[in-house]
Structure 1
């Protein structure tokens, strides 16, 4: 059955190529049989229809000119960099346990005090898919933890500046050539903004287009890329710097509400800086070209809007609440996003199979299942947001993926935890570090976040991509993948 489907895909995909060979052969045979009189007749026809030929040529030339002037400018990903925290910020499960016990000894008011809440916390942590080398900020390693504005600024500056410094060192781009800056951080949005902080640090030019995206959750990284893409269609010959991060110092929950405790188990320090360009001269040195961005927002539905929400618990402590509806909401939102993305990336063979199944179900047998398109026919690498083990499991099952397809997501979750909007960049870096990204390969980044949103970005590799200098996987990729027993 697999061989039959493989043959079907080959025939449909190469349908025109397969017909082109006999067609060219037929033309060649006809051309070779032309005699001197036939050639004279053709030349006579062209001479007496010179006006028609001139008009057709002019229309063709004008149409081509309009196409080249109005077509979207290519957006290139020159390079990107992921923050690798210092070794002293690594935390094991045992270290987390020890810190919690020390804090409880100081004051039961500062951290989860009830034993049943602690048991729940540790059960989630053990089954989360996170390993023993994830990172937390210095503020949360302190006893008691620091949740001040100063501590939050220090954490964010460390993450953002390290990622940008490494990116600029690798690309050798002059900061004065950057015309667009977009920073996204969901939970921490001080005044002046984080984007202003970057402008000040790197002395970016005064006419820079500066944007700061807040409160948009783990999918904000793709939103920032989509915004940069639109801006690069308007502003010519420039660079866009996109920074995706999250802050833990201010957002750690210290209460007993189970729906809020979960986020403490999953989120860890991380961030990424991405340099985009619309300069044609940058194609040669860029890693990828952006093919598609698809954004889906189901926030008009109340369940979708409230399934991930920052709020106060019954004691007044602030945290992010995850409701039981999040699984069904995520599934529905992902389905809508995929339905939009599918026609853009899937080959004709998959579209035909989907259409035939849809017609059969609609008019003949309503009990048959919808055909799930084989995205591996169009996508080579999958970067599924490392939001948690359950999310990765669900997408692996629904998209019919193999363990190697979700390996970047599982490995990122294990090594770095959920780094929010930047996780998809750690996953892309993992694929590069494994030497799997070849010229022409397509990578699909898919992220989910509060609101509720599902956003996708599809890139094509412009060359065999090697990991950048100071890749976050540089010293540990050989350990992966790891086998986890739950």
Structure 2
């Protein structure tokens, strides 16, 4: 028996399309499509910064005395003393106890103990502040540049806090001081794919394994810059968390200059002629950082700057390249104060902060959080931008709608930016890291003589 295909007539199609059930079905599909494809917001619920006990302090005189008693080369001691006198550090920066002993206790167990002390304290503090059950965490991203343990830091955290067996965990190593923003970038992408999830980020750096005891100045520099610290950050893509969030992530821009040999080699972990491990920091690092910053803000600018600033910037480039000699007219530097209310510049060193302050024409109050973080805590690597954000909150300067620019530099060479917007009217609690906030800001002398 032959089969015939019935083709609906136009009246039949009209009746079907206008049927209430069909219209509701199409509308439902359309709503679901819009909801699924709309951009998923990523919220920062809260964060916690590790505050070392006062017994971990490394006064500058103790730093110098330590190397004298350890029979370090006199020229190496003189070099480190000179750097410390201009560092902008206070007497409160800290190192782990294993490095304040004589002789130094550099070992795998000491490095692991240092990492656990910082990470577990920061994570426990964060869970207490946010009343979060560790089993509610869906995504975990940890980062530490120099020390890569087995099991990983992420596994150590999962074990300590008895997190779920199906948690998505990642550890980033060798990414430098900008790894904190890279961790945010990874967590953001995961949160947008795995919707309605919570992500925990843990950023730290260990000093024990790479504390340099040789005599090469390019490696001794890291002893004078890096200090103990860490932070834990809780992000969410759950719609119900919007009402309790502090910030919403608006933009994240990453710049990687590793394809350039000079940039790639400016911060390098290596061994010296005596087979002593250390981190080499080249003299040209400020120039490399400046080039990376220019490229990063060139990508970030169109996303955040008002049109008037973009127009001035574009016109200055046109004038320089087309109408006038390049030596007679400089390129206009956009006023980023019109895009951001607060700046968290990685506390990589006094020269780094001052360089960005000058390049971007920032005010003293704009770089105050960075300078005070460097003064009190030193360079805590990837976690420094969180100490700075905590400083702004403790000062009571953060208001709903305010924009925050976090910018960090790291080996490779990398320059990364994260832009947040404050989304709460609540008053910010003063974190333990800045419970003495009334002391700040302080005037930091250009040179401090070490006796």
Question: Fold conserved (TM > 0.5)?
Answer: yes
Does residue 282 (structure 1) correspond to residue 241 (structure 2)? The answer is: yes
Q: Deviations over 1:232-282 (max 9, x none)?
A: 011121100000000011110000000000110010000000000001111
Question: Quick one: which of 66, 85, 110 aligns to 1:99?
Answer: 66
Does residue 162 (structure 1) correspond to residue 129 (structure 2)? The answer is: no
CA shift for structure 1 position 160: 0.3
Question: Following the alignment from structure 1 to structure 2, what is the Cα–Cα distance between the partners of residues 59 and 333?
Answer: 50
Question: Following the alignment from structure 1 to structure 2, what is the Cα–Cα distance between the partners of residues 85 and 249?
Answer: 15
Counterparts of residues 67-466 of structure 1 (less than 5 Å): 67-104=34-71, 113-367=72-326, 368-464=329-425, 466=427
Counterpart contact for 2:244–2:424, Cα < 8 Å: no
Counterpart contact for 2:52–2:229, Cα < 8 Å: yes
Q: Under a length normalisation based on structure 2, what TM-score does the superposition of the two structures give?
A: 0.90
SS at structure 1 position matched to 2:270: strand
Select between 469-478 and 159-168 the one with higher mean Cα deviation.
469-478
Q: Deviations over 1:181-204 (max 9, x none)?
A: 000000111100010000100111
Query: 1:472: which partner in 2?
Result: 433
Question: Following the alignment from structure 2 to structure 1, what is the Cα–Cα distance between the partners of residues 132 and 143?
Answer: 22
* 5+ residue gaps, structure 2: 1-17, 19-24
Query: 2:21: which partner in 1?
Result: none
Question: Following the alignment from structure 1 to structure 2, what is the Cα–Cα distance between the partners of residues 82 and 62?
Answer: 45
Counterpart contact for 1:407–1:481, Cα < 8 Å: no
Counterpart contact for 1:79–1:167, Cα < 8 Å: yes
Question: Following the alignment from structure 2 to structure 1, what is the Cα–Cα distance between the partners of residues 86 and 60?
Answer: 11
Q: Under a length normalisation based on structure 1, what TM-score does the superposition of the two structures give?
A: 0.84
Counterpart contact for 2:88–2:446, Cα < 8 Å: no
Q: Deviations over 1:435-482 (max 9, x none)?
A: 100100011000000000000000000124644464300124433233
SS at structure 2 position matched to 1:165: helix
SS at structure 2 position matched to 1:230: helix
Counterpart contact for 1:433–1:477, Cα < 8 Å: no
CA 1:62–1:207 in structure 2 vs 1: closer, same or farther (change >3 Å)?
Answer: closer
* 5+ residue gaps, structure 1: 1-50, 52-57, 105-112
Question: Following the alignment from structure 2 to structure 1, what is the Cα–Cα distance between the partners of residues 260 and 214?
Answer: 29
Counterpart contact for 2:143–2:173, Cα < 8 Å: yes
Counterpart contact for 1:170–1:469, Cα < 8 Å: no
